[in-house]
Amino acid sequence: MKVFKKIVELQNELFSCRKENKTVGLVPTMGALHEGHASLVKRSVEENDVTVVSVFLNPTQFNDKGDLERYPRTLEADCQLAETCGADYVFAPSVGEIYPEGDNRHFEFPPQSTVMEGAKRPGHFNGVCQIVSRLFYIVRPDRAYFGEKDWQQIAVIKRLVDFIGMKDTIRIVECPIVRDADGLAKSSRNTLLTADERAVAPKIYEALQASVEYARTHGVAETRDKVVAEINSVEGLEVEYFEIVDGSTLLEVASWEQSPYIVGCITVYCGKTPVRLIDHIKYRG
**Residue 187 in marked binding region:** yes
Q: Are strands 237-246 and 262-270 parallel, antiparallel or unpaired?
A: antiparallel
Count Cβ atoms below 10 Å from residue 216 Cβ, excluding itself: 10
**Residue 167 in marked binding region:** no
**Residue 149 in marked binding region:** yes
Q: Nearest-CA neighbor of 249 among 147, 123, 118? A: 118
User: CA 57 to CA 178: how far, in whole Å?
Assistant: 21
**Residue 143 in marked binding region:** no
**Residue 39 in marked binding region:** no
**Residue 155 in marked binding region:** no
**Residue 218 in marked binding region:** no
Q: Which of 37, 124, 218, 280 is catalytic?
A: 37
Asked if 149 contacts 278 with a C-beta cutoff of 8 angstroms, the reply is yes
**Residue 123 in marked binding region:** no
**Secondary structure of residue 171 in the 3-state scheme:** strand
CA separation, residue 131 to residues 57, 139, 274 (Å): 10, 12, 26
**Residue 280 in marked binding region:** no
Asked if 279 contacts 208 with a C-beta cutoff of 8 angstroms, the reply is yes
Asked if 201 contacts 278 with a C-beta cutoff of 8 angstroms, the reply is no
User: Which residues have C-beta within 8 Å of that of residue 195, sequence separation ≥ 6?
Assistant: none
**Residue 147 in marked binding region:** yes
**Residue 178 in marked binding region:** yes
CA separation, residue 146 to residues 15, 94, 143 (Å): 24, 22, 10
**Residue 83 in marked binding region:** no
Q: Nearest-CA neighbor of 244 among 267, 269, 221? A: 221
On the CB side of 7, CA atoms within 13 Å amount to 15
Beta bridge partners of 89: 2, 52
Catalytic residue at 106? no
**Residue 171 in marked binding region:** no
User: Which residue numbers are catalytic?
Assistant: 37
Residue ranges of the binding site for ATP: 30-37, 147-150, 178, 186-189
Residue ranges of the binding site: 30-37, 61, 147-150, 153, 178, 186-189
Residue ranges of the binding site for (R)-pantoate: 61, 153
